[in-house]
A and B are shown apart, each in its own frame.
Chain A
């Protein structure tokens, strides 16, 4: 095992799960939130020809997912370096 100590391993895992939960909240908000649950409210706002809720459901959520995945990879890379477990 590459961690210096067992405490390090636990701290790493805790931070990992923390990052994950935060990003999953964003994941939920842009898709289930803006695209489904709040769609009627957001549809009152118009951006160009798109109703905003409709835009989230068919465009916005997808763009957000791409950003989320890369952001996750970057954050985890930083975390790996912090604990000296990067390659």
Chain B
């Protein structure tokens, strides 16, 4: 069957499945809309969390970035998995014990302050919207490829589908759909990786294949990769540092604590029955995530090798442009891959030197989707990858939109502005909030600040600098008071936003950096995507300092802290 038809068929079938589940489990009341009645098994919850978590950044974007960053790309691998350790130990069990709907609700009550709750809502919206921009970039890339349209058109279609999808179902729909989406996305990720690993090394397990010898030779794959990239003038793959060791350290830390501070992931731990289940659920989520995250480095290395081998099949004998393969032409249609015959020889030169490199644009986000085609895998595998990429992007976008919606309707409207809002109007407000967030993020997605994974990294930095420190101090200290928490959150997110906007433009609109381009003047060489860790340090320091200077929290709040530290006596989520 022709690839295009097959792609429509596979993507259509998976969509029908998700929609079917969403309609079947359509949320009836607000409490089901948010947390699915609090009764989901830890393994199932872990799987749904994994789908929620692994977005377009993980599926579509990350391996492509690693393919070009080599060892430097490890920041994503360690950062986005290591955060679950923090989540499991520092936050999930305690927040489950607390057992309310949302993260701002906890912050508001622990810091006995509506202001704290509003600040938390604002922080949450800023990081979630940034995160959705990253998803929109991924969705735009995926749709542009498989509908063979430009990136902008692909993005518009993607926005429409996300809107329909997220607004229709609530959390309950999403939990079961997300289990289905996890299955689709993990199969779609691993099957091509197994094929490619087997073709290149004879070892079907990508995790081992990356450390094996090339099939039929005794040269290690990674050694060959190091050799071919350095011959083209690029840095050695396995030792290529991202910026500096310090930058990598801060970047990884930022992603880790950002992971533990992202509301749409935290909210998932409210859906298991007990504190014990919250602990093991984090473990299960990490198992399911690790399947993709340990496969990704193999996908990355092998994709880079296959790309170079396609362009230069024999040493010194580059691919003739007119004989380029179909995938090359398809990606040219989207505008995400561009060739310019600088030396006029009709062949493609791909080298590190910008003046002679003829692959003038290779959007790194296309690598995972293009990978199976580059490796000449059967059409059904390529169709499956398209379906998987969309599953990843949609599931996370839906989870994030839900977090945004609940922050606005539940925390801001019901919690602060209009306490007597009816349940029906609350639901309506949350749907309007979702639609607004999709439109805003989609608009900014036309000119995203970075590749999908880079944009998402920014969102993590913002979460790291604002939400994580407030939650952690709220649980582990009885002394941090409302003044401290509020000042800390504001200081953390402001410092991070200032640094990011200065380098990436205000709200990521290009050329609005207020002090001019200072990219050569990164603070200690820290890139904006990594700055959240510095913001978090600021947050902790300011919160501690201000709390010391002001009075201790009231006894009732100290009792609340004691209460959440005891694992028994959990209230069921539907009681609220």
Contact = CB atoms under 8 A, between A and B. Distances in A.
B290 A66 contact: yes
A65 B222 contact: no
Contacts of A3: 566
B466 interface: no
B14 interface: no
A40 B276 CA distance: 40
Q: Which of B71, B85, B88 has the most CB of A within 10 A?
A: B85
B540 to A, nearest CB: 16
B252 A49 contact: no
B115 interface: no
A48 B212 contact: yes
B89 A72 contact: yes
Contacts of B248: 36
A57 B77 contact: yes
Interface string B239-270: 10000010011001100100000000000000
Contacts of B519: none
A49 B276 contact: no
Contact of A61 (B81, B93, B223, B568): B81
Given A51-B238, A66-B283, A87-B274, A58 B85 contact: no
Interface string B541-576: 000000000000000000000110111111000000
B282 interface: yes
Given A54-B71, A62-B78, A62-B290, A85 B567 contact: yes
Given A35-B78, A70-B280, A72-B88, A50 B211 contact: yes
A36 to B, nearest CB: 5
B162 interface: no
A66 B284 CA distance: 8
Nearest to A47: B211
A35 B72 CA distance: 11
A80 B567 contact: yes
Nearest to B246: A36
Contacts of A58: 66, 71, 74, 77, 297
Nearest to A16: B565
A50 B222 contact: yes
Contacts of B74: 35-36, 54, 57-58
Q: Which of B74, B222, B287 has the most CB of A within 10 A?
A: B74
Nearest to B221: A49
A47 B476 CA distance: 41
A29 B88 CA distance: 18
Nearest to B248: A36
Interface in B214-249: 220-223, 238-239, 245, 248-249
Contacts of B82: 27, 31, 61, 65
A65 B562 contact: no
A85 B274 contact: no
Given A57-B71, A62-B78, A2 B569 contact: yes
B290 A65 contact: yes
B78 A49 contact: no
A9 interface: yes
Q: Which of B82, B207, B252, B570 has the most CB of A within 10 A?
A: B82
Interface in A35-87: 35-37, 39-40, 43, 47-51, 54-55, 57-59, 61-63, 65-66, 68-70, 72-73, 76-77, 80, 85-87
B294 interface: yes
B195 interface: no
Q: Which of A20, A35, A47, A58 has the most CB of B within 10 A?
A: A58
B297 A31 contact: no
B97 to A, nearest CB: 11
Contact of B562 (A9, A24, A27, A69): A9
Q: Which of B211, B476, B565 has the most CB of A within 10 A?
A: B211
A54 B238 contact: yes
B243 to A, nearest CB: 12
B182 interface: no
B245 A61 contact: no
A73 B78 contact: no
B153 to A, nearest CB: 36
A19 to B, nearest CB: 8
A7 interface: no
B276 A73 contact: yes
Given A31-B252, A49-B211, A65 B85 contact: yes
B85 A68 contact: yes
B80 to A, nearest CB: 9
Given A65-B82, A70-B280, 11 more contacts: A31-B78, A35-B74, A36-B245, A48-B208, A49-B211, A49-B220, A65-B84, A69-B282, A76-B93, A76-B279, A87-B570
12 contacts: A2-B568, A24-B85, A31-B82, A36-B252, A50-B210, A59-B207, A61-B81, A65-B84, A69-B282, A70-B280, A72-B89, A80-B567
Interface of B: 66, 71, 74, 77-78, 81-82, 84-86, 88-90, 93, 207-208, 210-213, 220-223, 238-239, 245, 248-249, 252-253, 256, 274-276, 279-280, 282-283, 286-287, 290, 293-294, 297, 476, 562-563, 565-570
Closest 6 CB pairs of A and B: A49-B220, A57-B74, A69-B283, A58-B297, A73-B279, A48-B211
